[in-house]
């Protein structure tokens, strides 16, 4: 059998590394031909030595230069071509022949490579939900025009994708996304005002990259997933529901017209949805922990509290607004999460900033890619302007100056 040639973008991250473990599990079926990341050149070098890809890319040009120098020092029999800078990622995807691109870069930075993947006739195994939130209309249209698939890697969307096989599209009433509720599910609004970065980075059920872990604590991750589901499965906003399910065992559900609900369960291990995206419509053996329901004991469900977690309410508003709203929603969040991770703002200020930025935005309908990118940039600028007004940011500035005086 000819092996499927796969490019892994974001290979040094949480999803990227799990993807390479899946590739190890499917050596007879998958050939890794491309690897890309941002700046972790040493990690990318060791992956290059292990997988001997045709091409590698780092979006940080200086890191790419280090990588290239190190690769040439290694005197490999077939050294990979090294691509540099943000455009290098796109060039890697365009120049490397393959069947599937695993999009596992975090943030809107993943969009150009996702577009390049579809444009060059590759399927897109999509973890990078931000690119679909930003440009869902364009990516789904492009996939249709090119006859390619966008295969969900996100566990909830993989669960929906699998559950949808139980009926026809016109028989679907709604999809129900499950949310763990994050580490602050039981905290009061007062308590949430005081939570620390370390607490926010402690996800109760999943181990993930920093950005998505914070998004899970604010429930912004679920908000982005509502928009992701809208595009992946071509649903109306009122067909998408969210239920909090703290154990993260049921990964999501589909309700059909006859009242039946079909769902997918499994241990919280991203290798399962990653492998399914790569082997669909088949299922290959995978040595992950088996789920034993008698050990789980209870499965609990509750409605999300949109008072404490405004993100989900905003997601529906953004879907209703349409146009450039989602681009701004996403980019403002990226700015706010980065500021929170740098200890510049408080946890609750993340969503305050996102909401304010959305309120300031004048929506443009039917946006082109350029318009979406401009809205993304506008959202970043506006969110940054909001953040400088927060008392906690001012406090940091004062603190930093006192540090300088010492």
Q: How far is the CB of 252 from ligand NDP (least distance, A)?
A: 12
> Closer to Mg ion at the Cβ: 138 or 226?
226
> Closer to Mg ion at the Cβ: 71 or 244?
244
> Closer to ligand NDP at the Cβ: 87 or 260?
87
CA distance 127 to 105: 8
Residues 6+ apart with CB under 8 A from 240: 174, 175, 177, 226, 229, 230
Q: How far is the CB of 8 from ligand NDP (least distance, A)?
A: 9
Query: Site residues (CB under 6 A) for ligand NDP?
Result: 10-16, 37-40, 59, 89, 104-107, 109, 127-130, 154, 206, 208-212, 270
Query: Does 29 interact with Mg ion (rule: CB under 5 A)?
Result: no
Q: What does 105 bind: Mg ion, ligand NDP, none (CB cut-off 5 to 8 Å by kind)?
A: ligand NDP
> Closer to ligand NDP at the Cβ: 273 or 367?
273
Q: How far is the CB of 129 from Mg ion (least distance, A)?
A: 8
**CA-angle at 235, arms to 232 and 239, nearest 5°:** 130
Q: What does 206 bind: Mg ion, ligand NDP, none (CB cut-off 5 to 8 Å by kind)?
A: ligand NDP
Q: How far is the CB of 154 from Mg ion (least distance, A)?
A: 4
Q: At what angle do helices 311-321 and 220-232 cross, to 10 degrees?
A: 30
**Which single residue brings its beta carbon nearest to ligand NDP?**
13
Q: What does 130 bind: Mg ion, ligand NDP, none (CB cut-off 5 to 8 Å by kind)?
A: ligand NDP
Q: What does 39 bind: Mg ion, ligand NDP, none (CB cut-off 5 to 8 Å by kind)?
A: ligand NDP
> Closer to ligand NDP at the Cβ: 208 or 354?
208
Q: How far is the CB of 133 from Mg ion (least distance, A)?
A: 13
> Closer to Mg ion at the Cβ: 156 or 344?
156
> Closer to Mg ion at the Cβ: 31 or 223?
223
Q: What does 270 bind: ligand NDP, Mg ion, none (CB cut-off 5 to 8 Å by kind)?
A: ligand NDP
> Closer to ligand NDP at the Cβ: 26 or 270?
270
Q: How far is the CB of 66 from ligand NDP (least distance, A)?
A: 12
CB atoms within 10 A of CB 26: 19
Q: What does 277 bind: Mg ion, ligand NDP, none (CB cut-off 5 to 8 Å by kind)?
A: none
Q: How far is the CB of 270 from Mg ion (least distance, A)?
A: 9
Q: How far is the CB of 405 from ligand NDP (least distance, A)?
A: 33
Q: What does 252 bind: ligand NDP, Mg ion, none (CB cut-off 5 to 8 Å by kind)?
A: none
CA distance 47 to 358: 40
- Which residues, numbered 136-165, are part of the site for Mg ion (CB under 5 A)? 154-156
- Of 138, 99, 133, 132, residue with least CA distance to 117: 99
Q: What does 156 bind: ligand NDP, Mg ion, none (CB cut-off 5 to 8 Å by kind)?
A: Mg ion
> Closer to ligand NDP at the Cβ: 70 or 173?
70
Q: What does 129 bind: ligand NDP, Mg ion, none (CB cut-off 5 to 8 Å by kind)?
A: ligand NDP
Q: Which residues bind Mg ion (CB under 5 A)?
A: 154-156
């Amino acid at each position: 059998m000819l092996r499927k040639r796969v490019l892994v973008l974001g290979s040094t991250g949480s999803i990227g590394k799990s993807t390479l473990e899946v590739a190890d599990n499917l050596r007879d079926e998958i050939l890794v031909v491309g690897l890309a990341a941002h700046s972790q050149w040493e990690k990318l070098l060791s992956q290059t030595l292990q997988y001997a890809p045709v091409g590698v890319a780092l979006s940080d040009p200086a890191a790419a230069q280090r990588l290239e120098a190190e690769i040439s020092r290694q005197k490999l029999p077939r050294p990979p071509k090294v691509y540099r800078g943000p455009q290098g990622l796109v060039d890697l995807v365009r120049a490397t022949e393959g069947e599937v691109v695993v999009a596992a870069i975090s943030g809107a930075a993943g969009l150009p490579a996702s577009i390049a993947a579809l444009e060059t006739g590759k399927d897109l195994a999509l973890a990078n939900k931000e690119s679909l939130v930003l440009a869902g209309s364009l990516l789904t249209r492009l996939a249709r025009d090119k006859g390619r698939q966008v295969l969900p890697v996100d566990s909830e969307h993989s669960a929906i994708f699998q559950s949808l096989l139980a009926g026809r599209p016109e028989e679907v009433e709604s999809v129900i996304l499950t949310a763990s509720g994050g580490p602050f599910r039981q905290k009061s609004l007062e308590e949430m005002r005081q939570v620390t970065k370390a607490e926010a980075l402690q996800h109760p059920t999943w181990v993930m990259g920093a950005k998505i872990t914070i998004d899970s604590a604010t429930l912004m991750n679920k908000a982005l997933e509502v928009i992701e589901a809208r595009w992946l499965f071509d649903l109306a906003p009122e067909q998408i529901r969210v239920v909090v399910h703290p154990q993260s065992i049921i990964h999501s559900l589909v309700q059909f017209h006859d009242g039946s609900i079909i769902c997918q369960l499994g241990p919280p291990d991203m290798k399962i949805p990653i492998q399914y995206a790569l082997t669909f419509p088949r299922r290959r053996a995978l040595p992950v922990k088996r789920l034993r329901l008698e050990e789980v004991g209870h499965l609990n469900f509750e409605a999300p509290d949109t008072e404490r977690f405004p993100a989900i309410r905003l997601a529906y508003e953004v879907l209703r607004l349409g146009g450039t709203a989602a681009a701004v929603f996403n980019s403002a969040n990226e700015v706010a999460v980065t500021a929170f991770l740098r200890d510049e703002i408080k946890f609750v200020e993340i969503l305050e900033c996102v909401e304010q930025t959305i309120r300031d935005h004048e929506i443009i309908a039917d946006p082109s890619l350029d318009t979406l990118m401009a809205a993304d940039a506008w959202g970043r600028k506006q969110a940054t302007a909001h953040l400088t007004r927060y008392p906690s940011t001012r406090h940091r500035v004062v603190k930093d100056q006192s540090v300088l005086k010492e």
